[in-house]
Amino acid sequence: MMKKYLVTTAALMISILVFSACGTTNDEGSDSSDQNGSQELTVIGSNWEFDQETYTIPANVDVAFNYEDAEGIHGVKLRPYDDKDNIIVEVMDGDSATINLEPGTYEIRCLTFCGDPGHKEMRSQLVVE
């Protein structure tokens, strides 16, 4: 009798855990703006790509540029295509930097050497318009 009660309780607890795990899943987009009009961009890296090929943000406004590792250790280096020595910002996992850019197309590359040949493939573009 007691044993059956324990099994039932355990099953109930497991289903609560499963349910609450599903319940905390939030579906945030990569680009979002709050009511103050401030902007945010989140880039997520894994082995060996970023979560989007192209990111788009508005020009001449402060944008919080966030980076997260979903898999492996990477990071983001942002620079103009036509001036590759001009690194605008470098962001590692969990970090954020404020950017405010002129219109144009910028290159997003992996910051950390994370393996061959995948590291070289980790490129996306940021369109500022």
Listed residue (34, 33, 40) closest to 98, CA to CA: 40
Contact between 92 and Cu ion by CB under 5 A: the answer reads no
Please report how close the Cβ of residue 50 comes to Cu ion at its closest, in angstroms. Answer: 10
Tell me the C-alpha to C-alpha distance, in Å, between residue 65 and each of 3, 20, 72, 98, 109.
Answer: 54, 30, 20, 6, 14
Please report how close the Cβ of residue 72 comes to Cu ion at its closest, in angstroms. Answer: 8
Nearer to Cu ion, 64 or 114 (CB): 114
Please report how close the Cβ of residue 75 comes to Cu ion at its closest, in angstroms. Answer: 8
How far is 77 from 119, CA to CA, in rounded Å? 12
Nearer to Cu ion, 61 or 92 (CB): 92
Q: Which of 52, 93, 119, 125 binds Cu ion (CB under 5 A)?
A: 119
Q: Which of 51, 61, 114, 125 binds Cu ion (CB under 5 A)?
A: 114
Lookup result for tokens 């470098």: 90
Q: Which of 43, 108, 110, 128 binds Cu ion (CB under 5 A)?
A: 110
39's torsion region: left (phi>0), alpha (psi -120 to 50) or beta? beta
Nearer to Cu ion, 97 or 114 (CB): 114
What is the enclosing helix (H) or strand (E) of 106? strand 104-110
Nearer to Cu ion, 30 or 47 (CB): 47
Residues that bind Cu ion (CB under 5 A): 110, 114, 119
